[in-house]
Amino acid sequence: MNPNQIFLPIDVVTEVSKNDPVRTLYSITEELDYTLMNIQFPVYHNTKYPGKLLFQLIVLGYIKGVFSSRKIEEACIDRISFKWLLQGKKAPDHSTIANFRKDAAEIIEDLFKQLTILLIKMGEIDTSNIFIDGTKIEAMANRYTFVWKKAVTKNDAKMCEKIKTSLQEIKRRYYPKYKSEYKITFKYTYKYQTKRLRKVLKLLHYIKEREGVEFVHGKGKKKHQIQKDIELFKSYLERRLKYDQHYEKLGDRNSYSKTDKDAIFMRMKDDYMLNGQLKPAYNMQIAVSGGYGVGCMAFDKANDLHTLKPFTDYLIEYCELILQRIIADAGYESEENYVYLDEMNLESYIKPKNYEQSQNRNYSKNIKLRENMAYNSEEDYYLCAAKRKLVLLNKITRKSKSGYTADIKVYECEDCSNCQLKVKCTKAKGNRQIQVSEKMIEYRKQSTENITSDYGAQLRMNRSIQVEGFFGL
């Protein structure tokens, strides 16, 4: 081969087969509404690339399993299908692709929504069965920048006690002399703590000026008492403001990262350090149907339990999906979620948390479990393995973090004394108690019937293929 020989350009159109996904992609994406894109990015910034073309290149990359902006740039140089889309244009560099993906994020999300709806109308996607699952994705944040709500609360309480003592010292030391000029309430109140600290600092600075005290710094120099007090209350105020910022950023969460305030610390499945270390992460929820990802949403909640309701609302309201059945694993099971799906007229195919254990033959022999106790519905009592009655003791309500209230019945054994089975039944010193939600029992029974039916078994098997396969892309 002569490296100096000049070759004629290849006719790219003839090289791309009629069945190539790029042709299908182009024909489908041409039907989308690019009004917002054309208004904001008719040509992306100082480049010569229309926003529409960059969007199509990104989607083609996703179809081909190419997600990195650098890899998409390489594909535009080396792969014919990408060149076919470019129609003779030079390959965009990776920074153009990365910046466009960031700057046009909301428009791209809207176009993906349009694409999903179009595929549904074409009959390519059937959203009657939606498979939902989540995974934890590590955030691009330093793992040692954590702020824990428990630690903040503990340190805040300690500081509050110190402030109480210091306020009384200030009152004893200065207030009798300056009370006519400064009327300050020295009684400690958390609600007005910041305001009061500022007033005390103002008083201390006033005293400093009146008494002509000069601040000193450095080793070997003795500080005046008023300087010590000003520095002390200044540190209190700085810490008060810092704790208030922490509380504001934490909200109802237990932690956050200083370098990514939306991320919280979670235990990851793939722990590369193998020491169970917590890392800043997001809980990414996806909805899959027919191999297509029809929706995704990032949550700052480590548990899947409280993601089902907002995620399903997102699928129905924003993605405009018409749903019929929700298929999910045991991590989503709760009375609140069952009630929500029932109210939305959605069939629940959620695996109960006790389903796997119930398949074990020793499960039916475990006398601790309420499921293995006989129940008399007419007189409303349970009968334990020792043939002793557990009668209704009390009715309570239990409120979840999201505000859902569950009605709970508390049953207690009439007498556990001298029971030979008590050791196997309970560790309680007194009589055995159980707490029962009748609503939860009914919903779990229905869900169990759903997943154990022939159709439910197929959906359950398909769920693992759909969502795990999608995460594996």
CA 277/CA 254 separation, integer angstroms: 16
pLDDT, mean of residues 361-365:
88
Output the pLDDT for position 273.
60
Q: Is the pLDDT of residue 58 over 90?
A: yes
- Where would I find the beta strands (DSSP E) of 300-436? 325-328, 347-350, 374-376, 381-383, 389-399, 405-413, 433-436
pLDDT, mean of residues 296-310:
91
pLDDT tens digits, residue range 195-207? Answer: 889 988 998 999 8
pLDDT tens digits, residue range 60-103? Answer: 999 888 999 999 999 999 999 999 999 888 999 999 999 999 99
Residue 1 binned pLDDT confidence (cut-offs 50, 70, 90): very low
pLDDT, mean of residues 393-413:
92
pLDDT, mean of residues 298-325:
90
**pTM assigned to the model:** 0.80
pLDDT tens digits, residue range 427-448? Answer: 888 899 999 999 999 999 999 9
* DSSP β-bridge partners for residue 392: 411
Output the pLDDT for position 48.
87
pLDDT, mean of residues 354-374:
90
| Contact status, residue 25 vs residue 63, Cβ threshold 8 Å | yes
Output the pLDDT for position 353.
92
Neighbouring C-beta atoms of residue 307, cutoff 10 Å: 22
Q: Is the pLDDT of residue 170 over 70?
A: yes
pLDDT tens digits, residue range 8-38? Answer: 455 555 578 888 889 999 999 999 999 999 9
Residue 191 binned pLDDT confidence (cut-offs 50, 70, 90): low
Closest by Cα among 23, 29, 78 to 54: 29
Residue 285 binned pLDDT confidence (cut-offs 50, 70, 90): very high
pLDDT tens digits, residue range 139-155? Answer: 888 878 889 999 999 99
Closest by Cα among 375, 366, 338 to 353: 338
pLDDT, mean of residues 172-179:
82
Backbone torsion region of residue 251, taken as left when φ is above 0, otherwise alpha when ψ lies between -120 and 50, otherwise beta? left
CA 98/CA 112 separation, integer angstroms: 17
